[in-house]
Structure 1
Amino acid sequence: MKLKLIHLALAVLCAAALRSHAAEPVYQLRFDAGELKNTGSAGGEAQQAGILSLVDVVIDADLGIYAANLKMSANGSQGGALAFPESGSRLQLGGLSDELTLAMWVKWRGPHAHADKRHGLVSTMPAKKDAGWAFSILEDGRLQFNWVNEKGGSFRTSSASLAENQWTHVAIRWQGGEKSGGLEFFINGEPVGVNEKWTGGGPIKKSGLNLILGVMDEAAYLPLNGSLAEVNIFGSALSDENIRALAQAPRQSALPQEPARNVAKAVRPPRMVFAHYMVALPTAGGDASVEDYKREIQQAQALGIDGFALNSGGWTIEKKIPSYKERTRRIYEAAKQLGTGFKLFISADFATKLNFPEFTDMVLSFRDHPNQLKVDGKAVISSYKGENIDLTRNARTAFTDENAIFLIPFLRSNPQAELPSQELVEGVFRANQDLDGFFDFGAAGSPQDLCAATKRMAGVWMGAGKVFMAPVTPYYRGRGKNFRMFESRGFEGMAMQWENAINLGVDWVEIVTWNDWAESSYIAQFGTPADTQFWDDHYGKMLSHRGFAEASKHYIKWFKDAKQPAITEDRFFYFYRVHPKTTPAPDGRFPRGVENAEDRIYATVFLKAPAVFTIECGDVSARFPLEAGVHHVSSEFAQGTPRFQVIRDDQVVLAKTAEMPISGDSAWGNFNYFSSSNL
């Protein structure tokens, strides 16, 4: 008996040793803390590929760990993807004896989102699919492996299918030189068979392309309709036992502490869009009347905006007449008199000398107003730079029980960063977990950087069951000591931010801003597109941002309805600076970031049917044959007055000569954008 026990113990130890010495993955994505770090032997970090901002790394409510939610373009043909840089020389399977194991958790949402039969999981294939290999899910849930060798393309499929809308572990094992058993599919750790006899498929024709996850090829075509977690890619053929071990329940994540319970059960507020309103800068001037504010509210509601976040810093500063408190009272009164349900909430600006007693007065003065935005009966209050007075702690101490408020501020990280890293985002969260939600005041940055920062914040706050308010900004160009700019490529950058918010599924959007004339981030209209005089030229000559506002109407509806609106009429919007970037500003300076500016004429075109769109300016002309839908196009920059046309069936259906000429002599526009539309 003792001898048998010794033999059994040795067998267990040997099995444990085999498991502990399983091959190390070359690529491994665990998505810890929302990061894309490769913890496999190749090191490095995965990067977004395909269509920008369609990969959302958040804590999954079912798994309780971070997962990558891969989203698709509106027509479902392309989607978000993750690529491993400099992986083109690895795992190409160009040798007869090369081996491969792919293993991952996948939540497949089904075949309905795009018409093709394949949903890509991992691939090295080019767009032409004339080299490389690809692992995918078919429309009936079966797994498929495609490859190209010297004889051409081939594939095998699994004999079993995976279920829709539930997490499933899938794997494939490839041994190119094996004539029997060299290709096997696994579902939840168990082999499920191959549809046809395997006779060996290697060596595979090398594509030399990086490994890409979530799509079928390098063009991000045929995307996965679903999510991925715990991705492991090995350069060897794992045993059945080791694949079975990978299919055990995924490890749990440590941050946040209770997301798995909260996310699934959280009741989300209705999707709404607000605009950041600078109480210091009313369109009609500091002494704006209730009637003036009514006109601004009506202008906002015509775009689909649900309310204003009232930025106020100098609440009771005596030299401001009327005081910011009185201006705020007039805005609330204007909304009440209109009776259109327009919502308002205070956004306390602690970048000034605003103190907590003034903040308290802000809350108490308007919390019971009929137009005050509320969630669960609590008045919504936001802020800018609330960390300056330790707002979270002070507010939670002062407003309790029946006096509680719904606090959703913007707080800077420590150290401060306009575009905080994942580590800094999580630091803000850990220090402020008592908040009801979080607002990302994102304006100063490129559209790509703003989208990335928003994704980091949304992943953490929404992952913890909190309300998240994302920013969307049209353009940014500061003044004075803050003389800097960030290229938006006309409306293209704003559209990118709208789609980012839509794809992330955030609760609210706050347009940054309605009326910050100093930073040129406004969408409010102060006159006709041809008008340039405003506030006695206090901020210099102003330029219309009408195109940014009106083109957003489509995206506001898309966001609120969670469905892309049909285009029922042809429209176009145009955007350009009225001078080249080589002409200095009126004070002789150039803004920081001018090197990234592009001297081009941009247009965003909405077409109900295919047509040709043209841009002409000076001696430059451009012609764009376009399908029905939304398109962002641009032409070369030239001196003159731009003219735009929509031509269908050889007939001009829309035409417009812009209101402002482009000149190389004077930069009176001060690097701001001019925008308008065909109307």
Structure 2
Amino acid sequence: MTLLRIFILLLSWCGGQAQAKAVFAHFMVGNSAKYSNHDWKHDIQLALKAHIDAFALNMAHNTILNESLEKAFDIAEDLDFKLFFSFDYAANGSWPKQDTIDLMNQYKDHPAYYKHHSKPFLSTFEGATSHDWPEIKNRTDTFFIPDWSSIGPEAAANNSYVDGLFSWDAWPAGPTEMNTSADEAYRYALQGRPYMMPVSPWFYTNLPGFDKNWVWRGDNLWHDRWQQVISFQPEFVEIISWNDYGESHYIGPLRQKAFEAFEQGDAPFNYADNMPHDGWRTFLPFVIDQYKNPNSTIHIPKENVVSWYRLHPVSVCTTNGTTGNSKTQGQIEYQPSQLLEDRIMYSALLRTPANVTVTIGKDTVPGSWDGVPTDGRGIYHGSVPFTSKLGKVKVAITRGKKEVASITGNPITSTCPRKEKGVQNYNAWVGTSGADCTMFMSKGLGIFSFGVIIFTLLQELDLF
């Protein structure tokens, strides 16, 4: 191999870091009231490690935390991470026009504010009925990509001042698997303008104080949706969410100081406590890199497995009024047992095919793969039923007699979270066997990524 070839490879890897496509995570600023500098730094470092490009800062009017925003932007600048505003027009109603303009103009030129084609990125959660947006966009010179899912893609796209659209349609309706029909409708309506595709792993909320008590089908959603992103190739992706504990779709770390929603929403119990979701970030570097570079060479430095499941059979505990789907969202309601399956889901990132077994208590059953990568390298996915089986869970990946990776997870029990009322927790417990698996760093070349490059070059030179 010539030095010129090495130089070209290095250029392609390093140059590939500047991407037109981007992945964001929806971040609830209201949950950061008690955040220290360390908390912000830790969250941002975890997001960077997962190859997330920016936090979409969801903010309801009258809940803005100026001190928290200052910390966030200063630390994001130090860590070369980006942030942008997603104004929430649903939680506390519409924002006063001038408040939106003033906050945008205060931060839009900050080095940490995310820009697209040199324009500050501006998003929303709803706000479709407001007539202020043309003036807001004009006076802030923004790239405007709102979520106006309540009026549908055609009506939203008919506004000429909209630069693109974000959809909140991230979960299947009813006892079905998620598909891309809603995404196709947005792409058609936008007629070439950018589309921000939503991805979410789960949804369960029981906050009667906020008139919310329903569950949507999750099960295989996290795996399936990323495969759809890689195939669909949207201009942007937004993960819902980083830290919305009250809706159970968080992928960030659990923070006791950020659990106020359970008290404010009169939750019957804290259904996020001791229910980590960090494992859902394990393969994010891999799938995000695949999304951004679908034809790139797959490098798997470490084989891992991730598993998620509910801790109680769906029929053991009472629903506490939780419905499957919600009439408030214009949906047909079901019993939760009609939507959710008593199954243990697992995904493994493997270099070559391998077997999977699942142990529940004293019972061990062979697993199978419902999804297999086309060339044998990549993410394998499957599940097994647990139904009436109880006990500790172990998911093991083996190749021959060798155990490649395994997880020992929390036990499945018939003891409900609130014994006196027997209330079901429809949230998921998520575990991972090890560290994140990355292909190449999308935010600069860290020591690990440089090592990956050197390793690959040595392979090319037949020196390793």
Amino acid at match of 1:274: F
Matched, 1:675 2:430: yes
Matched, 1:535 2:262: no
**Cα 1:426–1:625, aligned 2, differ >3 Å: closer, same or farther?**
closer
- Equivalenced residues, count: 377
Alignment partner for residue 308 of structure 1, among 55, 62, 72?
Answer: 55
Alignment partner for residue 382 of structure 1, among 98, 123, 130?
Answer: 123
Is residue 367–residue 383 contact of structure 2 (8 Å, CA) maintained in 1?
A: no
Secondary structure at the aligned position of 1:605 is classed as: strand
Q: Which residue does 2:180 correspond to in 1? A: 451
Alignment partner for residue 485 of structure 1, among 205, 215, 238?
Answer: 215
Q: How far is 1:541 from its partner?
A: 3.9
**Cα 1:442–1:549, aligned 2, differ >3 Å: closer, same or farther?**
farther
Amino acid at match of 2:292: K
Q: Which residue does 1:105 correspond to in 2? A: none
Is residue 568–residue 608 contact of structure 1 (8 Å, CA) maintained in 2?
A: no
Q: Which residue does 1:429 correspond to in 2? A: 157
Once the two structures are superposed, residues 346-375 of structure 1 have per-residue CA deviations (whole angstroms, 9 ceiling, x without a partner) of 000011232212111221110110011112
**1:514-525 counterparts in 2 under 5 A?**
514-525=242-253
Amino acid at match of 1:371: A
CA distance in 1, matches of 2:358, 2:377: 18
**Cα 1:291–1:547, aligned 2, differ >3 Å: closer, same or farther?**
closer
Q: How far is 1:589 from its partner?
A: 3.3
Q: Which residue does 1:665 correspond to in 2? A: 415
RMSD across aligned C-alpha pairs, in angstroms? 2.5
Alignment partner for residue 89 of structure 2, among 333, 350, 357?
Answer: 350
CA distance in 1, matches of 2:221, 2:302: 23
Matched, 1:334 2:58: no
CA distance in 2, matches of 1:604, 1:650: 20
Q: How far is 1:449 from its partner?
A: 4.5
Is residue 277–residue 310 contact of structure 1 (8 Å, CA) maintained in 2?
A: yes
Q: How far is 1:573 from its partner?
A: 0.5
CA distance in 1, matches of 2:227, 2:131: 33
Is residue 476–residue 486 contact of structure 1 (8 Å, CA) maintained in 2?
A: yes
Q: How far is 1:628 from its partner?
A: 4.8
* TM-score in terms of structure 1 length: 0.52
**1:267-278 counterparts in 2 under 5 A?**
270-278=20-28
Relative to its length, the structure with more strand (as a share) is: 1
Matched, 1:601 2:344: yes
Amino acid at match of 1:412: S
Is residue 442–residue 473 contact of structure 1 (8 Å, CA) maintained in 2?
A: no
**Cα 1:478–1:563, aligned 2, differ >3 Å: closer, same or farther?**
farther
Secondary structure at the aligned position of 1:363 is classed as: helix
Alignment partner for residue 438 of structure 1, among 165, 171, 177?
Answer: 165
Matched, 1:570 2:303: yes
**Cα 1:364–1:625, aligned 2, differ >3 Å: closer, same or farther?**
closer
Q: How far is 1:551 from its partner?
A: 2.7
Secondary structure at the aligned position of 1:573 is classed as: strand
**1:238-257 counterparts in 2 under 5 A?**
none
Alignment partner for residue 149 of structure 2, among 412, 418, 424?
Answer: 412
Once the two structures are superposed, residues 374-408 of structure 1 have per-residue CA deviations (whole angstroms, 9 ceiling, x without a partner) of 12322111111121323433324x42xxx521111
Matched, 1:295 2:50: no
Once the two structures are superposed, residues 207-242 of structure 1 have per-residue CA deviations (whole angstroms, 9 ceiling, x without a partner) of xxxxxxxxxxxxxxxxxxxxxxxxxxxxxxxxxxxx
Larger radius of gyration: 1
**Cα 1:450–1:411, aligned 2, differ >3 Å: closer, same or farther?**
farther
Q: How far is 1:521 from its partner?
A: 1.0
**1:497-516 counterparts in 2 under 5 A?**
497-516=225-244
Q: Which residue does 2:31 correspond to in 1? A: 281
Q: Which residue does 2:383 correspond to in 1? A: 634
Q: How far is 1:673 from its partner?
A: 0.5
Alignment partner for residue 468 of structure 1, among 195, 219, 224?
Answer: 195
Please, which runs of 5 or more residues in structure 2 have no aligned partner? 1-17, 325-333, 370-375, 419-423, 435-464
Secondary structure at the aligned position of 1:361 is classed as: helix
Alignment partner for residue 276 of structure 2, among 544, 559, 563?
Answer: 544
Q: How far is 1:448 from its partner?
A: 4.0
CA distance in 1, matches of 2:189, 2:402: 52
Higher mean alpha-carbon deviation, 564-573 vs 477-486, is at 564-573
Is residue 171–residue 217 contact of structure 2 (8 Å, CA) maintained in 1?
A: no
Q: Which residue does 1:82 correspond to in 2? A: none
Q: How far is 1:625 from its partner?
A: 6.5
Percent of paired sites with the same residue: 25
Q: Which residue does 2:404 correspond to in 1? A: 653
Secondary structure at the aligned position of 1:483 is classed as: strand
**Cα 1:370–1:533, aligned 2, differ >3 Å: closer, same or farther?**
closer
Is residue 443–residue 476 contact of structure 1 (8 Å, CA) maintained in 2?
A: no
Is residue 533–residue 541 contact of structure 1 (8 Å, CA) maintained in 2?
A: no
Is residue 355–residue 389 contact of structure 1 (8 Å, CA) maintained in 2?
A: no
Q: Which residue does 1:184 correspond to in 2? A: none
**Cα 1:412–1:647, aligned 2, differ >3 Å: closer, same or farther?**
closer
Please, which runs of 5 or more residues in structure 1 have no aligned partner? 1-267, 415-423
* TM-score in terms of structure 2 length: 0.75
